[in-house]
Amino acid sequence: MSLLDVRSLTVEYCGALGNRVAVDGMSFQIGKGEFIGLAGESGSGKSTVAKAVMRILQTPGFISGGEVYFEGVDILKMSSEELRELRWRDMAMVFQSALDSLNPVLSIRSQFQDMAQAKLGRPMTDSELVEVLDFVQLEPRLLDSYPHQLSGGMRQRVGIALALSLKPKLLILDEPTTALDVVVQRHILRGLIRLRKQLGFAVLFITHDLPVLLAMSDRVIVMKDGQVCDDLSPAELRHHPTHPYTRTLLDSMALLVADDSRTSGRGD
Amino acid sequence: MKTLVLDGLRKTFSVSSKTVVAVDTFSMELSQGEIVAIVGESGSGKSTVARMVLGLESPTAGQAFIRDEQGHRPCALRDVQMVFQDPFASLNPVHRVQTHLTRPMKKLRLNPPKGEALHRDVEALLRRVELSPSDEYIDRFPDSLSGGQRQRVAIARALAAQPTFLVADEPTSMLDVSIRRDVLRLFSRLRADNLGILLITHDLKSVEAIADRVFVLKEGLCVESGQTEQILTDPRHPYTQLLCNSVPDPEGAFLRDDPVTGDAPR
């Protein structure tokens, strides 16, 4: 049994000009401990899939069809009470902008305690907090800082630590490093690889940065207009893409400027 | 021919009685028909350099000026225009595309076009940034445009003043890869039209694709500079090596250990 089994998921957004289908009958699976990359351009529906799976879609978005099984139970049929149990404990999410997803008026310590109070019914002990921060290589003294005092990379690592603090089985990351520079990105990605070895959680990693996905994923799903174009291993995807759109994405990765007199100098 | 000269630009900020050096005595020259990149991570001071060139930030020491046959004179907005990172924030939501383009024409050009000529210039600008047919875009508001289209409008607005130089601060970091490629192509065509472009970025892929020369900034200091190919294939400074080694590659070499070696990067 897969950890997550998405079957013919359809999501629509209501608009003045009628409904717009953002995710169009999408199906895919994530096995236990698997690292799945989800690629596609803005507007292709990647983030909508993640929000639908977490069931945190907001109006005007709504799920109009399909099933989403987490360990064999259909999430779409769960009551809000059951969902609250599932979220964060079994399935957690890291958002693109950590500045927007952390509470600006709470210290980092309070954000963890806020979550722990809601989920564990008790505050986390100091040693638990230190352990969780150590996941992402942040020093304990940061606990008394506020989000605006941290750099973008540190904030994103706080977001990841928050998501991992209950050791979920599935971690969804929506463009976690897109706003960061490459040095910080590499640091975070390497940390993620190490943590996954240590804790064994599955990952759904969403980005339009194809090289990152090819380097990290067990399988890469390419999405366009709400549908799956390809669902292949990185090696297959690079050398035998089935969909023309996947080829376009691979091409834009290989060479950024084609009609310029200068060549890229990097044969690929 | 004009040259944009940055002469010993320095910027310090006081933060709770401490002095923070954002940019430490940075000098460079940019000629027409050239793309020069300033790279560095967040906080390295590269945006502060851009803002000082445009006069959005006043230098603590040093100056930016234009050198031509007549001698030296301060940078004016009709010499240098800027393209900002976020095309969602840099356009005015209550103005149509047309207004975004006609205002700099009227305010900044020496002989502002009027009537029919103004309209022709707006159409020509939109064609130049590949928003055609221009009729389709001229009356639109920013909220009905995609990120890539907005960034083109922002570039057209910068060009409306008929500047000799463009300063582009992370112009593609908010755009998807395929749109990013189109914007970079546009820059390389503008270079062919004899514009000089100062490209501020942390994306070495873009640098590799279009920049002629590169300056590497770390904590406000220029640690290395030279021809793009030389810097990217044979970086000398450990920090430049770290930058080069952090660029994601599909084989995952950037994730492996021992990033800073003396070896040539991929």
Please write the tens of the pLDDT for every residue from B27-55: 999 999 999 999 988 778 898 999 999 99
For residue B49, the model assigns a pLDDT of: 95
DSSP helix/strand/coil, B137: helix
The residue of chain B nearest to residue A255, with distances taken between CA atoms, is B209
- pTM for this entry: 0.79
Q: What is the mean pLDDT of chain A?
A: 88
Alpha helices in B163-220 (DSSP H): 177-192, 204-210
- CA distance to A29, A150, B150, B154, per residue, from B86 (Å): 35, 22, 9, 10
Overall average pLDDT of the A93-113 stretch = 87
DSSP helix/strand/coil, A168: coil
Residue contact B177–A248, C-beta within 8 A: no
pLDDT in tens, A26-83: 999 999 999 999 998 877 889 899 999 999 998 889 999 999 999 999 999 999 999 9
pLDDT above 70 covers a percentage of chain B that reads 96
Least confident of A123-137, A224-238, B212-226: A123-137
Of B41, B179, B210, the CB nearest to A260: B210
Alpha helices in chain B (DSSP H): 46-54, 97-108, 115-128, 135-138, 147-160, 177-192, 204-210, 228-233, 238-246
For residue A266, the model assigns a pLDDT of: 37
For residue B30, the model assigns a pLDDT of: 97
Confidence class of residue A183 from pLDDT cuts 50, 70 and 90? Answer: confident
Overall average pLDDT of the B161-190 stretch = 88
pLDDT in tens, A185-223: 888 899 899 889 989 999 999 998 888 999 999 999 999
Overall average pLDDT of the A117-142 stretch = 90
Least confident of A7-21, A94-108, A252-266, B85-99: A252-266
Residue contact A249–B177, C-beta within 8 A: yes
For residue A42, the model assigns a pLDDT of: 77
Confidence class of residue B257 from pLDDT cuts 50, 70 and 90? Answer: low
For residue A136, the model assigns a pLDDT of: 85
- Does residue A143 register a pLDDT over 50? yes
List the single best residue of B15, B35, B42, B197 to mutate versus A (max A Cβ within 10 A). Answer: B42
Overall average pLDDT of the A156-163 stretch = 91
Confidence class of residue A255 from pLDDT cuts 50, 70 and 90? Answer: low
For residue A260, the model assigns a pLDDT of: 43
Confidence class of residue A254 from pLDDT cuts 50, 70 and 90? Answer: low
- Does residue A243 register a pLDDT over 70? yes
Contacts of B247 (CB under 8 A, 6+ apart): A182, B204, B205, B254, B265, B266
Overall average pLDDT of the A151-180 stretch = 89
Return the structure tokens found at B200: 């501020």
- Does residue A162 register a pLDDT over 90? yes
Q: What share of chain A is helix, strand, coil (3-state, %, to 5)?
A: 40, 25, 35
Confidence class of residue A256 from pLDDT cuts 50, 70 and 90? Answer: low
- Does residue A267 register a pLDDT over 60? no
Of B209, B242, B255, the CB nearest to A257: B209
Overall average pLDDT of the B2-11 stretch = 96
How is the beta sheet containing B196-201 ordered, strand by strand?
B80-83, B165-169, B196-201, B35-39, B213-218, B221-227
Which chain B residues touch A262 with a CB distance below 8 Å? 209-210
The residue of chain B nearest to residue A180, with distances taken between CA atoms, is B42
- Does residue B262 register a pLDDT over 70? no
Return the structure tokens found at B121: 């210039």
- Does residue B261 register a pLDDT over 80? no
Query: Which residue(s) pair with A203 in the sheet?
Result: A35, A171
Whole-angstrom distance, CA of residue A176 vs CA of residue A161: 13
Do β-strands A73-74 and B3-15 pair in parallel, antiparallel, or remain unpaired?
A: unpaired
List of domains in chain A: 34-55+83-252 (3.40.50.300)
Question: Do B61 and B12 contact (CB within 8 A), yes or no?
Answer: no
For residue A187, the model assigns a pLDDT of: 86
Of A151, A183, A208, the CB nearest to B246: A183
Backbone angles phi and psi of B144, in degrees to 5 = -100, 10
- Does residue B258 register a pLDDT over 60? no
Contacts of A86 (CB under 8 A, 6+ apart): A70, A75, A78
Residue contact B177–A266, C-beta within 8 A: no
Confidence class of residue A259 from pLDDT cuts 50, 70 and 90? Answer: very low
For residue B133, is the peptide bond before it cis, meaning its omega torsion is within 30 degrees of 0? yes
- Does residue B259 register a pLDDT over 60? no
Whole-angstrom distance, CA of residue A121 vs CA of residue B54: 54
Q: What is the mean pLDDT of chain B?
A: 90
Residue contact A234–B250, C-beta within 8 A: yes
Sign for the CA dihedral angle at A247, A174, B255, A29 comes to: negative
Which chain B residues touch A235 with a CB distance below 8 Å? none
Residue contact B178–A252, C-beta within 8 A: yes
The residue of chain A nearest to residue B39, with distances taken between CA atoms, is A181
